[in-house]
Amino acid sequence: MRNLTRFGEGLPKISYSEREVDMLASVRAALAEQQTRVGLRSTLIFCNYAGAPPSLKMVRGA
C-alpha cells in the first residue's frame, strides 16, 4: 500500500490508516483492464499520459 501526497509517495503514517477494500468481481476486472491499458507507462492504475500520478488539479476536476 502506498500513499501519494503533495510531498511525495510513501507508506501510511499510522498503521490503522491501512485499509482493506471489498470489491465486486466486476470492479476488480475493470481495474485489471485499466492496469493493462497503462501497464507500459506506469505501475499506477490511474496515471497521466507520461505515466506519472495525476495532478491534484486533475483529480479535483474529475
Looking at residue 14, its pLDDT comes to 78
Scored b (16 or more CB within 10 A) or e, 6-41 reads eeeeeeeeeeeeeeeeeeeeeeeeeeeeeeeebeee
Residues 2-11 pLDDT 10s: 677 778 777 7
Residues 19-62 pLDDT 10s: 788 889 999 899 888 878 776 677 777 778 787 888 878 778 87
Query: HEC string of the chain?
Result: CCEEECCEEECCCCHHHCCCCCCCHHHHHHHHHHHHHHCCCCCCCCCCCCCCCCCHHHHHHC
pTM of the model: 0.46
Looking at residue 59, its pLDDT comes to 77
